[in-house]
Chain A
Amino acid sequence: MRAVAVTGLGVVCPIGLTPEAVVAAVQGGESALEPVAALQHLPDDRAGRVAKIPVRAWLKRRKDRKLMARASELALAAAGPALGSFPEDDRVDLGLFLGVGREPPDDGDSEASLAAAAHDRRLDPARLAGRGRDLYPPLLPLKTLPNMALAHISINLGILGENGAWAGASGAGQRAVVSGIRAIEEGRVDAALVGGADSLVDLGSARDRLRLGHDGAPGEAGAMLRLESLQAAQARGATVLALLTVDASGIALEPMRHLVGDVGAATVPLMLITAIAGGIAAPVHVDGSDPGDVSAAISVSPPPPC
């Protein structure tokens, strides 16, 4: 079984837009939770929101941004730096494994259509077919499918290899990272981009969390890691930041919800990135399994000596 090396990191979250900034904020205990106007009618209006998602630099076509939900923007903005200067020729077989949340919200895009379709306190199919249809955003299905974050990364960064998008909460991001590790260990790919992206800071998502009894403030983040077989990384002279294995060695790390809010499918990748960028002296592990699920934990070890 091949060893799996981390050779690239990318993060976009409320406390920082680079791994170094995130580590500095964590070490300083800087919380990014603050009141968000859209949530003002909720019992707690605080959320961990990214003020400006730096996605533009990674778009091949700027007009594609109108197809992107916030989760897709977060994913691509984190994936770009994580992939870095990885050779273009090797992207044919580069894997892409991503944890995503539930279906991204439509940001209210369909409200006008549904309101126009309402009649006599019910939704009237005939009105939906008429005025409602005129107001329905034609590209909305493409914005809200859960796998669109994966699609935008693949298209804009030219990734062609084995892939998967797992839906759920923090367990989805963990599943994605584990899948990437396994794909490299088993030799199906030599390298993979893995991670998670989620955005829960819109009114609908925040309200749904309350209804489901989820505590704490909502947040959002994109967190991606570039993994390679240790042998391949060393052969091309890449800097190895850490080693990953699927087990529960060392101390268990805790999520950073008090600083960034609930970042859903990005939880585990964000914890991994923070640990790696902060410097690993001894093995640690993360386990973000969803309630009732059985997921394999992920351990992080220091890189081997050069």
Chain B
Amino acid sequence: MDLFDGYGRPRVVVTGIGLVTPHGVGVEQAWSEVVAGRSAIRGITRFDPAGFPVRFGAQVPDLPAISDIPAEVAPLAADLKGRLSVLAVREALQMSGLPALGPRAGVCIGSEAARPSLADVAHRLASQLPPGADELARMRPDAPTRLMAALAGATGPRSTVSTACTSGSQAVGEGVLRLRRGEVDAMIVGGVDVLVDPIMVTGFSLLGALSTRNDDPAGASRPFDADRDGFVLGEGAGVLVLETLAAARARGASIVGEILGYGCSCNAYRITDSPPDGRGAAQSMSAALADAGIAPEAVDYINAHGTSTMMNDASETRGIHRALGSHGASVRVSSTKSMTGHLVAACGAVEAIYSVLACRDGVVPPTANLHRPDPECDLHHVPFDAVQTPVRHAMTNAFGFGGSNGTLVVAGRP
């Protein structure tokens, strides 16, 4: 087994994964629901959505209680974002069996600033008091990074990537780069976000970005469908433990998959819009393919960003054709956001995990609700039902507000 890739760099493998998504807690639970094509999008129950233009979302279900949080980071685990972080990183660490490596382990998490909870906002309005130190610490974008580092016993380099919907993808990419450089022996990477709250629903619905299909929440997220009308706010966390192949082999770790390539780009176009010709997306995908050292024809599956907005899906389609050439018409493409909604800062990591699992299991998950493919989205779709087929390499895209794009190329166990 060659421990180095075609460029002479250490190969980077995945030895642990953890998921909390609107489908539930745990990798196998979330993955089985996605493969089955079942939507997790429901009416909002966290607050009374009556009167809001959008009354549904992709909420995580009730979570199990968490305990044994070190005192110094306990305040960071006290809100939903913190609990998602704890559950996801603990599952990933348990699967990997990674020992506490101290300074030889780093953490890079994609995260935005937390919004104050409705209760916190209400308290502040009533009391006219500013937020306390614990709340301020929770609201910082780097709160999940600090929390996960403490739980993993990782005292090496920590960083927090905040590039909106691309954050999780770029966090995985940063972990790969650090491992290839030999800065660390292991990286805990991923993303976490919580968006189903009244202020986010208000803000994004005013932007006209959300689906308003209130009479059919499960059918609301319909990437690449001609009748799509916007994305669905979601929440969740995805965490991966990355190690060099050499380090994983040396400690006898079980390997789930491999990260072969990472690429990213800017659109330099507009804050909310994607360029219609898909040039930024194509540049990101081409960079990831080049980094992986594989030809487009070696990609058997693309987990698309596929948000279900008119603009993104058409632009991504053009990008796929530009980057993959003639193979763009034949490679299977699906969007798991059709079932999970948009997990924003977490989606890049969560969908990287789905892509690794697609390679592991030889199954391409479907796009739900794809009744009438948009002619502007002329791809080899996988509507409704998963397809059992060998997946040598999978590509996963994440494109963010503001025009940051990230792409990962993954494979199954070496």
Contacts and interface: CB of A to CB of B under 8 A. Distances in A.
User: B interface, how many residues as a size bin?
Assistant: 35 or more
Among A128, A138, A163, chain B packs the most CB atoms within 10 A around the CB of A163
Contact of B271 (A110, A142, A144, A292): A142
A294 B125 contact: no
A168 interface: yes
A207 B203 CA distance: 25
Nearest to B126: A121
Nearest to A139: B207
B111 A167 contact: yes
Given A129-B202, A136-B203, A138-B206, A154 B268 contact: yes
Contact of B130 (A126, A148, A166, A208): A208
A132 B136 contact: no
A164 B133 contact: no
Contact of B125 (A115, A145, A165, A167): A115
B264 A293 contact: no
Interface in B230-287: 263-272, 279-280, 283, 287
Nearest to A149: B402
A252 interface: no
Contacts of B263: 162
Contacts of B362: none
Interface in A153-189: 154-155, 157-168, 171-172, 175, 179, 182, 186
Contacts of A211: 130-133, 136
A196 to B, nearest CB: 13
B404 A166 contact: no
A151 B271 contact: yes
Given A123-B125, A293-B158, A102 B140 contact: yes
B162 A293 contact: no
Nearest to B266: A154
Interface residues of A, number: 68
A141 interface: yes
A118 to B, nearest CB: 5
Contacts of A122: 122, 125-126
Given A129-B52, A136-B206, A182 B174 contact: no
A123 B206 contact: no
B177 A155 contact: no
B48 A126 contact: yes
A96 interface: yes
A147 B162 contact: yes
B181 interface: yes
B161 interface: yes
Contacts of B202: 113, 128-129, 132-133, 136
Contacts of A163: 163, 264-266, 404
A200 interface: no
B51 A146 contact: no
Interface string B53-80: 1000000000000000000000000000
B225 to A, nearest CB: 25
B122 A123 contact: yes
A160 B265 contact: yes
A212 B137 contact: yes
Interface string B115-131: 00010011001100011
Interface in B149-197: 155-164, 170, 174, 177, 181
A304 interface: no
Contacts of B198: 123, 125, 128-129
Given A114-B121, A123-B118, A133-B202, A159 B50 contact: no
Interface string A34-54: 000000000000000000000
Contact of A294 (B139, B156, B161, B271): B156
Contacts of A157: 268
B141 A207 contact: no
B8 to A, nearest CB: 12
Given A118-B125, A136-B203, A146-B141, A294 B158 contact: yes
Given A102-B141, A150-B163, A212 B206 contact: no
A294 B113 contact: no
A294 B283 CA distance: 32
Contacts of A125: 47-52, 118, 198
A205 B111 CA distance: 20
Contact of B160 (A139, A141, A142, A166): A166
A150 B271 contact: no
Contacts of B48: 125-126
B403 interface: yes
A69 B49 CA distance: 30
Contacts of B279: 160
Contacts of A293: 157-158
Contacts of B141: 102-103, 146, 167-168
A295 B206 CA distance: 40
Among A162, A167, A207, A212, chain B packs the most CB atoms within 10 A around the CB of A167
A167 B160 contact: yes
Contact of B131 (A67, A118, A140, A208): A208
Contacts of A151: 266, 271, 401-404
Nearest to B272: A142
B384 interface: no
Given A168-B159, A182-B177, 9 more contacts: A122-B126, A125-B52, A151-B401, A154-B266, A163-B163, A165-B404, A166-B162, A167-B140, A211-B130
6 contacts: A129-B198, A146-B162, A155-B269, A160-B268, A165-B161, A293-B158
Smallest CB-CB A-B distances: 3 pairs: A151-B402, A103-B113, A129-B51
